[in-house]
Amino acid sequence: MTALNLLSLFVLAVMVPGALAQGGIASCCRKISRTQIHQGLLTKYYIQRPPSCPLHVVVFITLQDKRICADPDKLWTKTSKAYLDGKKCRRQKLGKQKKHTVRHELQ
């Protein structure tokens, strides 16, 4: 095998698992969207980074399961991430309170 073929196989072996972990190469954001929707319509987000995908963006998922590829440095992106993080934290606290209440009632 030539060095070029070996290098190609190595690059492929390194990049494919990362891309698959984020939903596959086809699901990578190819451009940054200017769309800004109400935070209440967002359900979650994840961060897309190279080398798995070409751009470093924050990918928001909406209630309708649409993806918005946002610039991580924009204010809207930062406040939306904070909103979703706070919402997740409140759900986790509420879940812990419910478990504590159920245990107390069972005793």
Q: What is the pLDDT of residue 20?
A: 47
To the question of pTM greater than 0.75 for the whole model, the response is no
Side-chain half-sphere CA neighbours of 43 within 13 A = 7
Residue-wise pLDDT for 7-61, tens only, equals: 555 554 555 555 444 445 568 999 999 999 999 999 999 999 999 999 999 999 9
**Tokens standing for 35?**
């769309």
Q: Is the pLDDT score of 72 beyond 70?
A: yes
Task: Assign domain 3-106 to its CATH architecture.
Answer: Beta Barrel (2.40)
Can you give the residue ranges of every domain in the chain?
3-106
Q: What is the pLDDT of residue 9?
A: 52
DSSP β-bridge partners for residue 6: none
